[in-house]
Amino acid sequence: MWCLELLLPLLLIIHDASCQWSIWLPRDISAMTNSCVVIPCSFMYPSGIRPIRGVHGIWYFGQPYPQLFPPVVFKSLTEVVHESYKGRTKLLGDLNQRNCTLLIGNIGAEHSGRYYFRADIGGANKYSYPDFAELKVLDQPSIDVPEEIVSDESLELTCYVPDNCPDMTPEIQWMYTDYLPDPAFSTEYLEESNTAVLSNTLVFTPRPMHNGQLLGCRVYYPNTTLVYERLISLDVKYSPRSVWVNVSSEVMESSSVTLHCEVDSNPPPRISWMFEDNELLWDTASNLSLSLDDVTPVNEGVYTCVGDNGYGVMNTSMYLAVKYPPREPVVNESLTVVEGASLALHCSTQGSPAPTLTWLKDGELVGTITAGELSVLEIVEVTPQEDGHYRCLAENEHGRASTSLNITVEYAPVLLEESKCTVVREGVQCVCIATGNPEPTIEFYLPDLNVTVNETDGRYNFYTHTDGHTSTAMIKLREKGERADNGGPAVNVHCSMHNIYGRESVLLELQQEKKYMMAVIVGTIGGVAVIAFIIAAVRYVGQNNKKENGNPRQDVVLENPALYYSAVKKDKQNLRKKVLKTELLGSKFNSILEETTGEDGDYQSVGSMAGLERQELNYAALEFMGRRPREGATGRGDDGSNYTEIKAK
Ligand SMILES: *[C@@H]1O[C@H](CO)[C@@H](O)[C@H](O)[C@H]1NC(C)=O
Ligand SMILES: *[C@@H]1O[C@H](CO)[C@@H](O)[C@H](O)[C@H]1NC(C)=O
Ligand SMILES: *[C@@H]1O[C@H](CO)[C@@H](O)[C@H](O)[C@H]1NC(C)=O
Ligand SMILES: *[C@@H]1O[C@H](CO)[C@@H](O)[C@H](O)[C@H]1NC(C)=O
Ligand SMILES: *[C@@H]1O[C@H](CO)[C@@H](O)[C@H](O)[C@H]1NC(C)=O
Ligand SMILES: *[C@@H]1O[C@H](CO)[C@@H](O)[C@H](O)[C@H]1NC(C)=O
Ligand SMILES: *[C@@H]1O[C@H](CO)[C@@H](O)[C@H](O)[C@H]1NC(C)=O
Ligand SMILES: *[C@@H]1O[C@H](CO)[C@@H](O)[C@H](O)[C@H]1NC(C)=O
Ligand SMILES: *[C@@H]1O[C@H](CO)[C@@H](O)[C@H](O)[C@H]1NC(C)=O
């Protein structure tokens, strides 16, 4: 025969007398402290046994076997129970009905544990059932929290409380729900394995702001003072919702800067700093600082902080600008150009903020001032005036830098207007002055005679001198020669000058009248036909050392009948003189061209007589004039006066 042991709840139906010792009670049951619990229980014993003096039973705590002396929770035969159960237990079931349901009241934590039932049918028919009900005594309700709470996804939180005390029915309330968005509550009563649980489910959609918020479940029994609370803190996962970085900023080159990034996310993100497309630094944290030392312009650019916590990615960028003074500009090499050419000078630099670029020629502004990293100075059709020292100056608020170059302009010879022929006593003196680069070579051509003069020979005194890009040549025509129709000397002198860029030949004009007379009249000899005098124009040039290597000055100044002029250059140690001397002595006209290097008392005294500083540019002209030009050309010098002029500057 079979004994039908029903493991399924509640109804225990005894089918057959052949059933064995068996019991049914809930494996687990719980209760709140200070409340009560009913442990439902049914048992069976073999049907062959007939109870002698009724059915008895004992509830033990911890162990089923009396030999181990477990605490007696309840005993049907006597009222003797263990101290801790005194007055707390009551058998609700009828043992004769095989109903061993037990009530334990006023439960304390010490009552947690296993409860065993032992049936006593009479005589030797005593049996400790090995099955037990395990009681859990709770001082808090439990809350079922999903493993993961994600922002913006609906969340269900359930609070449970056992409801196994028939006299006391719990109620559940959620706490701190005031600021939850649209919370919904629902109560449910669950019965399972003959034990009951009351639950209350809270439904709402959490937001990132609810992360860390406390929520509570409060259980209380009406008409009692019993209150149980359980608090939880919400751990709401959310993707980065803000990535804070510094505002775009500026730093000076060589300084240090620290960029901060803070990401608001849960859990903390993998936070990283990117520069352009390169990751510089990362960490798993809510904030990350990027320190840049000794910043250079290379560090300028977009910095992006990226936060990624698995729930989402977010980034924020900033621009770091690096300020620095202009770099030394890069300009073209010094160059030599031929006049008429066009050229573009490039000046490039870097600087932040963008520098202004200025071109200076010999210290003077040329072109336009531009802001930026490149300035092009265009020179269209170069003329000799463009020859010089060019400087490109880059400036910004942090500093300045410049680079220079020289432009040398080469050009065909140009005749200077001082060139002319002058009637002097017994002849004609012609001076030809031309500039050019390379310096021109000058020759005189006398077409009447079909003669080209480029050096002194027996018939002509020829003098040439070059100073910088200026060449001076002078010729003295000693012959009386033929007379022109007007009685003056027939002069037909061409000045021919050339360099590699050109050749030019010009007929020199014959000049007789004085251009000006600023004079101190030193005497008048009226009516005297011939008074010839020395007109001395002395230029005394004292140059200091610095000027010595600079561009040579054009020393030669020729006024009207320049009977005499000299150019004197002084060294510091050595007086070097280039003397061009023409003398008129009485009616005898001699022209002496000489270049001396030695001491020359005649001329040196002019300098010292004038009492002039050697270190300065000095000028003195001494001129005596009395002769009325015989040729009768227009002029003012017909009063026969003599004059002298002294200039100093
Ligand atoms: C056992 O007794 C309890 C209390 O009287 C009762 O509620 C329960 O229904 C009984 N169980 C059975 C199986 O009769
Ligand atoms: C609480 O007590 C009041 C009166 O004392 C009674 O009306 C009410 O039903 C009781 N509530 C419960 C749940 O026992
Ligand atoms: C970035 O912000 C942090 C914190 O506000 C500050 O200490 C730091 O100096 C800032 N850095 C820059 C470059 O502005
Ligand atoms: C930065 O993160 C660290 C941990 O990584 C933390 O201790 C610190 O408080 C955070 N600082 C700020 C300003 O959030
Ligand atoms: C930053 O985010 C934007 C879109 O939000 C994305 O296009 C860009 O690639 C991100 N930058 C980085 C460095 O992750
Ligand atoms: C100056 O340099 C720039 C760039 O290096 C070049 O393009 C330009 O032709 C140069 N100018 C001259 C006159 O050489
Ligand atoms: C330009 O010429 C001057 C004088 O001849 C010289 O001192 C200077 O070094 C030159 N500069 C350059 C850049 O060539
Ligand atoms: C000038 O002289 C040259 C030879 O020295 C001769 O060939 C030429 O024909 C002459 N010209 C004139 C115009 O006399
Ligand atoms: C003068 O010209 C002749 C012929 O052209 C030349 O041979 C001579 O070298 C020149 N003299 C000077 C000093 O230039």
Query: pTM of the predicted model, to two decimals?
Result: 0.63
- What distance in angstroms lies between residue 270's CA and the mean position of ligand 4's atoms? 14
Q: How many residues does the chain have?
A: 649
- Nearest atom in ligand 3 to the alpha carbon of residue 251 is 13
- Nearest atom in ligand 6 to the alpha carbon of residue 337 is 13
Please tell me what DSSP assigns to residue 352. B
DSSP characters over 310-341: SS-EEEEEEEEEEEBPPPPPEEPPPEEEETT-
- What distance in angstroms lies between residue 302's CA and the mean position of ligand 5's atoms? 12
Q: Tokens 């001395």 sit at which residue?
A: 536
CA-proximal residue: ligand 1, atom 8 (nearest): 93
C-alpha span between 463 and 203 (Å, rounded): 117
CATH topology of domain 238-323: Immunoglobulin-like (2.60.40)
State which of 334, 335, 346 you would mutate to test the pocket of ligand 6, scoring each by most atoms of that ligand within 8 A of its C-beta. Answer: 346
> How, if at all, do strands 149-150 and 236-245 pair?
parallel
Coil/strand/helix, residue 605: helix
C-alpha span between 109 and 86 (Å, rounded): 15
Q: Which one, of 373, 374, 345, lies nearest residue 361 by Cα?
A: 345
Could you say which ligand is closest to the alpha carbon of residue 455? 9
Could you say which ligand is closest to the alpha carbon of residue 285? 4
> How, if at all, do strands 494-499 and 502-507 pair?
antiparallel
**Amino acid at residue number 446:** L
Could you say which ligand is closest to the alpha carbon of residue 408? 7
State which of 244, 249, 256, 259 you would mutate to test the pocket of ligand 3, scoring each by most atoms of that ligand within 8 A of its C-beta. Answer: 259
Answer for the pair 321, 299: CB distance below 8 angstroms, yes or no.
no
**Amino acid at residue number 187:** T
- What distance in angstroms lies between residue 446's CA and the mean position of ligand 8's atoms? 11
- What distance in angstroms lies between residue 53's CA and the mean position of ligand 9's atoms? 166
The response to whether residue 274 sits with its C-beta less than 6 Å from ligand 5 reads: yes
Local mean pLDDT, 10-residue blocks, the chain (649 residues): 42 52 94 95 91 92 93 91 93 95 95 96 92 95 95 96 94 94 95 91 95 95 95 95 94 96 96 95 96 95 96 96 95 94 94 94 92 93 93 95 95 92 83 93 89 84 90 81 51 90 90 43 30 29 34 36 32 28 27 33 32 34 37 39 38
The 3-state secondary structure of 498-567, one letter per residue: EECCEEEEEECCEECCCCCCCCEEEEECCCCCCCCCCEEEEEEECCCHHHHCCCCCCCCCCCCCCCEEEE
- Nearest atom in ligand 3 to the alpha carbon of residue 247 is 14
Please tell me what DSSP assigns to residue 587. T
- Encoding tokens for residue 308? 């990624």
pLDDT, residue 512, reads: 62
pLDDT, residue 636, reads: 41
C-alpha span between 367 and 113 (Å, rounded): 102
Superfamily of domain 416-511: Immunoglobulins (2.60.40.10)
CA-proximal residue: ligand 4, atom 5 (nearest): 285
C-alpha span between 165 and 92 (Å, rounded): 12
C-alpha span between 441 and 452 (Å, rounded): 13
C-alpha span between 448 and 485 (Å, rounded): 15
CA-proximal residue: ligand 2, atom 7 (nearest): 223
Answer for the pair 321, 251: CB distance below 8 angstroms, yes or no.
yes
Question: 548-561 burial string, b = 16+ CB within 10 Å, else e?
Answer: eeeeebbbbebbbb
Answer for the pair 325, 401: CB distance below 8 angstroms, yes or no.
yes
The response to whether residue 136 sits with its C-beta less than 6 Å from ligand 3 reads: no
CB neighbour list of residue 234: distance below 8 Å, 6 or more residues apart: 149, 206, 210, 211, 212, 213, 214, 215
In the chain, where the domains are located? 11-137, 140-234, 238-323, 330-409, 416-511, 527-648
- Nearest atom in ligand 2 to the alpha carbon of residue 169 is 13
CA distances from residue 106 to 114, 193, 195 in whole angstroms, order as listed: 17, 23, 18
C-alpha span between 112 and 28 (Å, rounded): 11
C-alpha span between 403 and 301 (Å, rounded): 29
CATH 2.60.40.10 fits 11-137, yes or no: yes
The response to whether residue 454 sits with its C-beta less than 6 Å from ligand 9 reads: yes
C-alpha span between 149 and 129 (Å, rounded): 45
- Nearest atom in ligand 4 to the alpha carbon of residue 268 is 5
CATH 3.40.190.100 fits 330-409, yes or no: no
Cβ neighbours around 328 below 10 Å, total: 12
Q: Is the dihedral of CA 160, 166, 168, 169 positive or negative?
A: positive
CA-proximal residue: ligand 3, atom 4 (nearest): 260
DSSP characters over 252-264: ETT--EEEEEEEE
Superfamily of domain 140-234: Immunoglobulins (2.60.40.10)
- What distance in angstroms lies between residue 153's CA and the mean position of ligand 6's atoms? 67
The response to whether residue 304 sits with its C-beta less than 6 Å from ligand 5 reads: yes
pLDDT, residue 425, reads: 76
- Encoding tokens for residue 45? 């014993």
State which of 328, 334, 391, 437 you would mutate to test the pocket of ligand 7, scoring each by most atoms of that ligand within 8 A of its C-beta. Answer: 334
- What distance in angstroms lies between residue 331's CA and the mean position of ligand 6's atoms? 8
- Cis peptide bond upstream of 146, omega within 30: no
Phi, psi of 297 (to 5 degrees): -55, -25
C-alpha span between 306 and 274 (Å, rounded): 8
Please tell me what DSSP assigns to residue 447. T
H or E stretch covering 53: none
State which of 441, 455, 465 you would mutate to test the pocket of ligand 9, scoring each by most atoms of that ligand within 8 A of its C-beta. Answer: 455
C-alpha span between 648 and 620 (Å, rounded): 5
Sheet holding 502-507, edge to edge: 451-453, 441-446, 494-499, 502-507
Task: Please compute, for residue 639, the number of CA atoms within 13 A of its CA located in the half-sphere on the CB side.
Answer: 11
Phi, psi of 337 (to 5 degrees): -125, 160
Could you say which ligand is closest to the alpha carbon of residue 453? 9
pLDDT, residue 97, reads: 93
Please tell me what DSSP assigns to residue 384. G
C-alpha span between 390 and 396 (Å, rounded): 20
The response to whether residue 332 sits with its C-beta less than 6 Å from ligand 6 reads: yes
Radius of gyration in angstroms for the set of CA atoms belonging to the chain, rounded to a whole number: 63
> How, if at all, do strands 102-104 and 89-91 pair?
antiparallel
- Lining ligand 1 with CB less than 6 A are 12, 42, 92-93, 99, 101
State which of 402, 405, 406 you would mutate to test the pocket of ligand 7, scoring each by most atoms of that ligand within 8 A of its C-beta. Answer: 406
CA-proximal residue: ligand 7, atom 2 (nearest): 406
Same fold, 11-137 and 416-511: yes
The response to whether residue 405 sits with its C-beta less than 6 Å from ligand 7 reads: yes
CA-proximal residue: ligand 9, atom 14 (nearest): 454
